[in-house]
Structures are given as C-alpha cells and as structure tokens.
Chains A and B, each alone.
Chain A
Amino acid sequence: MIKIIKAGNHGIILPELSVGLDYSGTKADHIFISHAHADHMPRNRKLTVYCTPPTTRFMKLRGFGGKMIEMKFGETLETDSARITLYPAGHILGSAMTFVESDLGSVLYTGDYRTPPALATEGFALPNAPVDQFITEATFSLPIYKWKTEEEISAQIRSFASRSLYEGYTPIFTAYNLGKAQELMFILKELNHPMQIHEGGFKLCGVYEEFGIRLGDYDTYQRETCEGKILISPASALRSGFADNVKKTRIAYCSGWASNESRQSRLTVDELIPVSDHLDFFELIDLCNRLRPKKVWVTHTPNPDVVQHYLNNLGIDSGFLDLEAIAND
C-alpha cells in the first residue's frame, strides 16, 4: 500500500510517489490543491501546484502568488511513479478529489466534499477503479448531523427571504464568502429580487459566471443602497457594521452547524438554515461502505472515534490523520 504521511499542519504527502495533497512544504514534486478555502490553500507562496481552472482563478484572487498548472476533471497526469486524476468533489466550484494510482496501489483524497453535491458546483463523481486507501474529511462526524433534501433547504432559504421582504424587513444571510455565498445566490436568483454581496464574496462571483454558473441580479454591498435588497455577508462583517444603518433586518445563519439549536442564542439570529457544503454523517458511512477500501483515513474531524466505531462495525479498517481544520462551513 502507498505510504501516507501527515506533514504537520502542512497537509499530506505520499513520499514514495513524491505527491503532496493540500500540502505547503517542499518535499513533494507534484502538489495538488483540492480547493481554494484558506485551510486547504498552500501557505508557501512560492510553490508550483496543480488544481482545477476555477481553483486557479480563486486562488489568484485570494492572493496566491505561486505557479498554478490547470488540470481539468478526468484529465490524468502521469509522473514517473504515479497517475493522478482529479474528480469533482461537489463542495464548492472547482473543488476536486485527487485520485492517485501506482504500482503500490491507489489513494483517493477527498479534500472537502459533498455527496449529493452542493448546488453551483460541477457535481460529484467517483473514479471507476478500486480505491485502496480512502482519505476522507469528516467535519460532521456525529449521527446528530443528517441533512434535509436540497428541495427542503432551497425552499427554506427562499421562503425566509420572501417572508422577510413581504413583512418589510431586509433579509441578511450570513455565509462564507467563497462557495456558500454563491450557492445561496444561485438558489435565491429565482426570486428575481436584487441582491447585494459583501465585497469579499462579490469579487469571486465573476469566476462562477466565467464557468457558466449564473448567479442572478447582484451587486457589491453598498451601505447607502442595501436596504430592501437581499443581503449576503460573512458573519464576522455583521459585527463590524455591515448594514447596521438598516433598522428592520432579519438574519439567517447558513451553515451545517446551524442544525445545533445553541447556535441561535450564541449568534442572535432569526433563523438557522442548516445548509452544508460537506456530506453528513450517514452519507459518509454509506460512501465508505460502498467504496469498501482496504483502509479509511479520517481527517478534519473533532470526533474520529465515532466514525471509526461505525466503520469497525462494518468491518472496515480505519485510522485517524489529525489535520488542522478551520470551521468555514
């Protein structure tokens, strides 16, 4: 089996193949970046990395100065010792799972992913070959996490906006600037009501349009004109004055963590919308059971023991790779 090493806080390396996964160091010849969220992007700005075309755009806009080599989904890179292919991960636009094949066996590294895929992504697909080792994130690693269907969540999002507007309130959705914000816009565009997006998210929307994902009638947030529009902003901006000139607002917190009721009192919001860009606990266990790898490596999780307990019961060997995670769902 391929040897897998956790490189401190700098991602994962497969030393025999000189492959780095979401890796920030210099000990790998070929580094693959799963997507453009801060906890997966390389911290070393001088690296050369492989990623999907949308990810190259996002990383450039978010300040990555290294060299990026574009790799489309399904394209295979052949190195001296391995064949590497990217598969759509369904997490955000451009997010990719990395499939590494070699004489030593195969590894599928998920990065962050969602199946069924999130809206406003390229979908989700698995390689058509056996996976020996499956390195999976497990952000929502408890059976209390089970997502509603896409239809139910979309309905809740639209109804929160239209109900607020109808009652004279300006609806504000708090969501991460890359991925969640655009997913909400994609869902909300059907209301045909103007939207304003926090500038950090606004500058990323063009990439979506470039890759054919229409986000509707939107503009960058302007304090003077935001009243009565549908507003989307990261939660942190709300604490530093976002739309605080508007008297009547209603706030919806949009995150997988919103399924925990305690979030409501902690955040002072009107509605919790548990929309996640990660797969839920049951989907995770189910996927492992379908893939039946020789070994599952669990990463990005506060509760590896719970996942491993369930995998054990299914007779699937597993281990924990303790990678640093930033809660940006």
Chain B
Amino acid sequence: MIENTAITRHSKSDFKSLAELAQKIAFTRANNAKIKLCANYFRELEREDVRRAVQFLGEGAYSNISGKRASIGHKTVAVLAAEFCEIDYDLVFRPSKNATGSTSETIQRLLENIPEARAKWSAENLSLEETEAIFEKLYHSKSRAAKQTVLLENWTKMTPLEVKFFIRMLGQGSLKIGLESTSVVEAIAHAFNKNSELVRFAYLITGSIGETAVLAKSDRLEDAQFKLFHPLSFMLADSIESKTLQHVEEFIAEEKFNGIRCQVHISGNNIEFFTRDLNNTTSGFPEILEFFKTRNLPDVVLDGEICVFKNDTILPVQLLQERMSVKKLTAKMLADFPVVFVSFDIIYHDGQSLFGDSLIERRKKLEKLAKQYHLPISSQKEINSNADVEQLFKQALAHGNEGLVLKRKDSVYEYGQRRKSWLKVKKPSVSLDAVILYAHADTGKRNGTYSDFTLGISVKDDDRYEEEFIPIGKTNCAFSDNKVAELNKRIKELVIDRFGPTLLLKPDLIVELEFDDIRINQRTKAKYTLHLPRFKTIRWDLSPSDVDTLKYVERMFDEKLAQKRERQGDNPSFVMY
C-alpha cells in the first residue's frame, strides 16, 4: 500500500523564497513596485512566518528591541568563507572583496563558482522557522569557534544567495536592497488592507516590526500597547535657524543638556535604561540604578538626560563617553565622573501611557512625582518674548549646556517623530578644512553619483603617524545636483583605486566642514570623530597643504573640555526637590 503522507511545506515559507524575494527587490527600481512585491509575499504566509519574514527583511536576524546581536565580525565571516571555499584569504578572497566592495556578495559568488565550495552545499530549503533557530543558536554561542561551527554547518544547507542574505541579516544593518523600514511598514499595510498610519504607530509602540505585522494580519492593530521595558522611540526636536519665533508664548523653554538622552523604565526593583538607538545601557550607570532603587517609585517611564555632574557643575559629555568606552567601570571612574539623571518628561505612570496627554499635563504629573520621590527634573521656563529666549540661551551656554529646547505647551509626546512641537536652539557650529579621501556611491535619491565622502585631516608633520592624511569623519553633501555633478567630474579625475562602490581618491579636493562637536572614538585612527559633520562649501581655492591638522582638532577638543562652566547657582538647569 502506498501511503501519501508526505508533509508538504507551504511553498513560500522557506528562507530561499525570502532570499529570492530580497534579490528581486534589489533589482526593482520603483519603490512602489518593491512594496508590492513584499506585500504579495507577506499575504501568503502563516502568522508566525509573517513575523519572521517581516522581521528578517525589516530589522535583520534579531528584533531591535530584543537587544540580541550575533556579535560576529565581517573579517571572521570572510576568513571562514575562504576556508569553506578552500582558497587563500589574502591572495584570493581579499582582492575579490575589493572588486565587489561587499563581503557577503563575494561569498555568494565564490560559493557559486568555486568547485570545491559547490561540492559542499546543497539547497535543503530551510524553513523560516529553522533559520530563526540558527540565528538564536548563533546568539547563544559565546565563543568565536562555536559561532564558526554553526555557520559552517548551515552554509552547507543553503544556496549561495541564501548565504548572502543570511550574512547581511546577521549584521543587523541594511540588506542593501534599497528597502527602507518605512517601505516594509507600507508593505504590511498593503498586504493586510490596513491604514499605513495605524501600522506605523503600532510599530513605534511595540518597537517590533515583526509583532506589528502579526497584529496587522490578525486585525489587532489597536492592541498595540506600550509595555514596560520595551523602549518607545524618542520624541525629537527639530532645529530652528534663527532664535526669533512667532507666538513664543505658546512654548516653554528648557536647557538642552550636554549629556546622553535616556529613557528609564521602572517597575519595583526592575529598572532599565535605554539610549536613543533603543539599546539597553543599564549596566553603564550603576549609581543611577542605585538612586532609583532607593526611591520606591510606582511603575513609571521617564525621559531625560544623563549628565556628568560634579561640584554643582554640568561637565562635558565627552567625559561621559570616556567613561562609557571602558569595559569595566572602576571606582576611580565613578568618583571622577559622577552622573545624574535629569528627567524632563514622563510617558508612562501607574499602568497608564501618557503620550497622548499634553506637555502641561505630563509636566504636572512629573513635578508631583519629583516632589514626592525627590527626583531631579529640568527647570522649565515660561517665555514671553524673543528677548527671554536670548537670555535663557546665554544662561544655558554658561552652564555648559548646548542651548535650549523650546516645547509647545499643548503638544502630545510625538514618539519617533522630529516635528515642530519641540525646537532646538543651538550655538553656531565650528568648522575646519578637510580633504576628501574616499567617495562612496549613493544608493538613494542620487543613485549612481558620488555624494558620500570620507574626509581627512593632515598628520603630515605628526610623528605619531606615517600617513599624510587620516580620516576624521564621513558625511553626505547636501549640494544642488549641479554642484554634485561638478564635484563628481573632478572626483573621476582623482581616482586611484576602486573597491566596489567606493573610490580611493588622490587627496586634492578641500572641503570646509561644519560640525557640532568633537567626540572621542578609540576605534578610529585619529581617536576622534566629528559629531554631525556637514559640507559647508568646496574650497577650490585651497590645496592639500591648507588642510587642518589633527593637532588642531585635539586643541579644539581640549579647549572645549577646559571651557569655563558656571556652577548651577541661583538659576539652575534642573531642580532637585
């Protein structure tokens, strides 16, 4: 008797279909067409597979809020792939990677082409569920060797195309298929016939694109609820160019703290801190954790800023970065750079989310809480004229803060938005002359032109370096198309080498850069990077000998640290009840 009991897997629920879809999206130019491809695919999946597929396409191997990472470097993956293909890493893999500009694409093509590699893999049509289990296994493998074993074992079960996207998903970065997360949101709305605004809000609240898709599929978008210990995307402030503002009385003013923005979630003795990129940063601030533990607060979520605070003075954020860059906090660090959490907003209190309330109402609740439990909160000032703004702005700078945030009194907490309800007034930025070292092909609106640049400063007469120039930052130029075309023409004449989409240039083009701040970054050659660098103008009149030096950058940094900062005194940036 012939039994026909073969379990047929839903055809679309394998990882191979997802990889093929991703590849198709990469070669589809119109955004609407990309969204349609995604939507058609999502519609055919079962509930758990929708979660997985949307998750993998939208955020990568792990949900952003899970805090999970594969923690496996490009180089490790590349060396492993060379081993898998039985080729020499330095002699064969590396030049191949330089030609494509992408580790994952190189691996895909070598697995397809090299006979020794071809003999090792076969398409086993791993399901999305099995793929998720592999991602989990990688997360739980702690040693590099263990992770390598997991990779090798599973590469044999995938097609090279699957391997390429598998690797890209592990990076939690872009899949390089020109699909923004906003387009994935659109695709979910499209697939399940939902209003895209509702889907977007559910995403912001849940923080998980996969869960959002499940809610949309099962008609439960309105169930999207804010949950403790699931960070909510922050409300952000838009910049204003001039300090003069119409209807200034509709706003209040707070100082823009020179610190790190942070969301604190508290429920009993469970306390967690999240930074703006929604990463859990609790372990970095044991004294704040201790502080909140002693307060016995009700369940609450506070929005605020962590500042270094010593001798009644707010100290520069650079010191905080120094503190955060060490692997293990020492007692000396804690004593030298004590920190304080200044709350300026409350978004959840005692079982109720408050982001639909007006700023005034939220402030009332925050003040009440602060008085009862003795919490530091920002000083909030009424403003009646632009002269008031000017005066408070000066005061903020004197405190060592960055400027002001003007907040509309009747505004709700617009999570994940940067609109006009909050406006930041900042001091003018600083500038320096840098040289273009690398040009990167744009994949967005200006597809095909070079408008992303790595910029260098001079270390020609610097004994610490052998190079002439070293990188100090990377930025996009926001010039008109004509100017970009002119720049691109010159760039083509300066090309020394190509690495896929990146060009190595002869150092010749000088650019005046504006930036907000200088930050320590131990992972770079210069040990510093510019914060928010922007192209001001191309200095056709300058030559490489005019480029500013690293020593100049270091001097600016030191001057910033040494800048006189007033004590909080009678008119403080924040109050402690």
Contacts and interface: CB of A to CB of B under 8 A. Distances in A.
Q: Are A and B co-members of a single complex? A: yes
A268 interface: yes
A309 B95 CA distance: 12
A272 B88 CA distance: 29
A142 B96 contact: yes
Interface in A261-293: 261-262, 264-268, 270-272, 281-282
- Interface of chain A, helix or strand or loop or mixed? mixed
11 contacts: A142-B92, A144-B96, A144-B99, A144-B106, A146-B113, A260-B100, A260-B500, A265-B178, A265-B442, A265-B447, A306-B91
Contacts of B112: 146
Interface string A127-152: 00000000000000011111000000
B96 A268 contact: no
Given A143-B114, A265-B442, A309 B105 contact: no
Given A262-B100, A306-B95, A143 B441 contact: no
A260 B448 contact: no
A143 B87 contact: yes
B92 A262 contact: no
B92 A265 contact: no
Given A142-B92, A260-B500, 14 more contacts: A142-B99, A143-B109, A146-B109, A146-B112, A146-B113, A259-B109, A261-B100, A262-B102, A262-B441, A265-B501, A268-B447, A268-B448, A272-B27, A305-B91
B105 A142 contact: no
A271 B101 CA distance: 19
Interface string A306-320: 100100000000000
Contacts of B178: 265
Contacts of B87: 143
A18 interface: no
B411 interface: no
A266 B441 contact: yes
Nearest to B95: A303
A143 B27 contact: no
B443 interface: yes
A302 B96 CA distance: 11
Contact of A261 (B26, B29, B442, B447): B26
Contacts of A260: 99-101, 105, 500
A302 B95 CA distance: 9
Contacts of A282: 113
Contacts of B101: 260, 262
Contacts of A309: 88, 91-92
Interface-centre pick from A143, A146, A265, A267 (highest chain B CB count, 10 A): A143
A142 B448 contact: no
Contacts of A265: 178, 441-443, 447-448, 501
B17 to A, nearest CB: 20
A-B residue pairs, 4 tightest by C-beta = A146-B113, A268-B448, A262-B501, A144-B109
Interface string B72-95: 000000000000000110011001
Contact of A267 (B88, B176, B448): B448
A261 B91 CA distance: 22
Contacts of B442: 265
Given A143-B92, A306-B92, A262 B113 contact: no
Contact of B29 (A143, A146, A270): A270
B19 interface: no
A262 B114 contact: no
A313 to B, nearest CB: 10
B232 interface: no
